[in-house]
Structure 1
Amino acid sequence: MNDDRKKQALVAWRKLLEEPEIRMDTEEQYDELLKMADAMEQDGLITAGEWRQLVREAGTRFAQATEGLEGGT
């Protein structure tokens, strides 16, 4: 059962990473991704290592999305 819950949670996380909700800005998307990763770890669905990987991916996406907004080209 945990495998199904884990798969569903990761699919939902990845969907939000790839397709943020309408009217969700980059910071809101990042915060929600971190909350989802935290919840998955607290529920025992993912390991600490998997949590770190999700946080890294969210951070990378956030940095890419905001790169040009702060004085870049």
Structure 2
Amino acid sequence: MTHELKSEALAAWYKLLSEPEIRMDAQDQYDELLKAADEMERKGLIGSDEWRNLVRKAGVAFSEAIEGVGRGT
């Protein structure tokens, strides 16, 4: 059961990473990704290494989105 919950939570996290919700700016997306990663760790679905990896990926996506705004994209 825990493996299934983990798989579902990670799938939702990666979907949000690749497809932010409508009217969600980069900051909102980043905040939601961090909240989701925190919640998965709190529930014991992921460990600290996995949590750090997700937070790192969220940070990269946020940086790229902000960088793109400055370039007029």
Indicate the TM-score class for this superposition, using the shorter chain for normalisation: over 0.9
Question: After TM superposition, what 4+ stretches of structure 1 lie above 6 angstroms from structure 2?
Answer: none
Aligned to 1:19: 19
Matched, 1:29 2:22: no
Which consecutive unaligned segments of at least 5 residues does structure 1 have? none
Q: Distance in 2 between matches of 1:16 and 1:67?
A: 19
Which consecutive unaligned segments of at least 5 residues does structure 2 have? none
Shift of 1:35: 0.0
Equivalent position amino acid for 2:31 in 1: D
Shift of 1:7: 0.1
Shift of 1:69: 3.0
Alignment RMSD (CA, Å): 1.2
Q: Distance in 2 between matches of 1:19 and 1:2?
A: 25
Q: TM-score, normalised by structure 2?
A: 0.94
Determine what percentage of the aligned residue pairs are the same residue: 58
